[in-house]
Chains A and B, each alone.
Chain A
Amino acid sequence: MLDLYGRGWQMLEGGLVTVQLCLTVLPFMIVIGLLGASAKLSRYRTLRVIGESYTVLIRGIPELLVILLIYFGGTIAVQSLAEAISGKETRVDIPAFWSGVAALALVQGAFASEVFRAAMQSIPIGQIEAATACGMTPMQIFMRIKLPQLWRFALPGLNNLFQVLIKDTALISVVGVEEIMRKAAIGAGTEKAPFTFYLVAMLMFLSFTTVSLLVFNYLEKRAARGVARA
């Protein structure tokens, strides 16, 4: 039915790279999101301003522009940094994969910080007061009280973000990372069959987003198992 001219394996390889991209970005996204949310809810004005302006800036700029800026600009920045340290002319190449990961982590981290901020604010203040009264340090409060509940409150938002992340990895094909879209473009070009290759690419993405949706729905049910339903 779908003749891929023997390039089926290459599409699968591309699928593997897409999965790698998603799973590499995920931890960075969560850490940046938690840091951003803590900064926004901080007692200190400077941290709040930094946190807020980070989301405000990222929210307004297209992801593609961020990816291009980091890919083309990041190489120059790292290169001049390396030259300043070593004192001689050096040539640095940031692999497209990692500049893509950096760009997506930066973008998704901003959205994740909004999700975590909302989740942190849904934790009843009485629990924090009780923990303080028990003599817990802020770090202990975070690890024992906030983080376990954050998970449950943040899951619906993270579900959404992960969907967006899967779809955004396709943008990294623009800087040449050989994930699904790039492999499809190569196949479409050499075999003169764009419709077939892009159709397969879309079906692969659709199956990824569907699997992610199912997994998150399961996790949401699981995270809510200790909670009385209204």
Chain B
Amino acid sequence: MFEDFIYVLGKYDTWLWRGFLLTIELLVISVTLGTLLAIPLAVARVSKKVWIQALPFAFIYVFRGTPLIGQLFMMYYGVGQLIANIDGIQDHWTWTYLRDPYWYCLLTFVLNTAAYVAEIMRGGIQNVPNGELEAARACGMSPWITYRRIIFPRMWQMIWPAYTNDVIFTLKATSLASTVTMMELTGAARKIVARTALPYEAFISAGVIYLIIVYSLTFGFKGIERYLRRSEQRNEPKTGRAKAATSA
């Protein structure tokens, strides 16, 4: 049993390592761009005007209500084919990029992450205490400054645990890239299984690597959470237990 593990890890370590790097790459780009896109979506979503919030609402509803694998296939096979049908596109210099599954994966993951993050941001924005908004207005802050100085810092503080979960969700979602022939961690494991017929060894090795990523992420994000909540800690230094209960 263990010989097989050593065999897989020894012979295919480069595949797993490259898979690991690609997984991290997909995760970092999707989360970064997804979060940036989520901010305007969330702001528009909380608007009081129906015609402003309708579009982000529909976007979020569709992306949260359908499976990611479907979105990916729709993008890669569906949109990919529509693009391939354009006259002369296959001779154009952009074609090398337009047929590469990498870009379709990234686009799908970015949009999907944006939808999920925008939804939690909406909750965060709506839960900013009204008194703080009134105070900001009383101080003469413009809506833009209110967002920058009051709403966003408050929002991040509130949504951070949910945001952490979402990043982990995106990490797990990157495994779907293997279904469109990408060689990230799951793809590498699948290829090893196809080569060696040792499913336990390959999949469990990949699983352990995922666990390591997840728990490093959780650890790092916990640290940032403490930083975001630093002001609360300074105000009530000796009520550790009670505070832990309210912040959970």
Contacts and interface: CB of A to CB of B under 8 A. Distances in A.
Interface in A58-93: 59-65, 68-69, 72-73, 76
A73 B200 contact: yes
B207 A65 contact: yes
A195 B186 contact: no
Nearest to A197: B78
Contact of B199 (A57, A69, A188): A69
Given A61-B207, A188-B77, A195-B79, A205 B168 contact: no
A64 B176 contact: yes
Contacts of A69: 199-200, 203-204, 207
A67 to B, nearest CB: 10
Interface string B190-209: 10010000011001101100
A170 B179 CA distance: 12
Interface string A44-57: 00000000000001
Contact of B69 (A61, A173, A199): A173
A194 B176 contact: no
Interface in B178-224: 178-179, 186, 189-190, 193, 199-200, 203-204, 206-207, 210-211, 213-215
A184 to B, nearest CB: 8
B179 A174 contact: yes
A167 interface: yes
A184 B68 CA distance: 15
Contacts of A202: 62, 66, 70-71, 74
A185 interface: yes
A65 B203 CA distance: 7
B186 A64 contact: yes
Interface size class of A (residues with CB under 8 A): 35 or more
Contacts of A205: 65-67, 70
A115 interface: no
B53 interface: no
B67 A198 contact: no
Chain B, interface SS category: helix
Chain A, interface SS category: helix
Most buried by A among B78, B173, B213, B214: B78
Contacts of B213: 60
B175 interface: yes
Nearest to B75: A198
B81 interface: yes
Contacts of B179: 64, 174
A171 B68 CA distance: 9
Contacts of A169: 67
A211 to B, nearest CB: 11
A72 B210 contact: no
Nearest to A170: B67
A154 interface: no
B82 interface: yes
Contacts of B215: 60
Task: List the 5 closest A-B pairs by CB distance, nearest first.
Answer: A170-B67, A62-B175, A72-B199, A60-B214, A195-B78
27 contacts: A59-B214, A62-B210, A63-B172, A64-B175, A65-B186, A68-B199, A69-B200, A73-B200, A73-B203, A167-B66, A169-B67, A174-B69, A181-B73, A192-B81, A194-B78, A194-B81, A195-B74, A195-B77, A198-B70, A198-B73, A201-B70, A202-B66, A202-B70, A202-B71, A205-B66, A206-B62, A210-B65
Given A60-B168, A72-B193, A195-B77, 11 more contacts: A61-B207, A62-B172, A63-B172, A64-B176, A64-B178, A65-B189, A73-B199, A76-B200, A170-B70, A202-B71, A205-B66
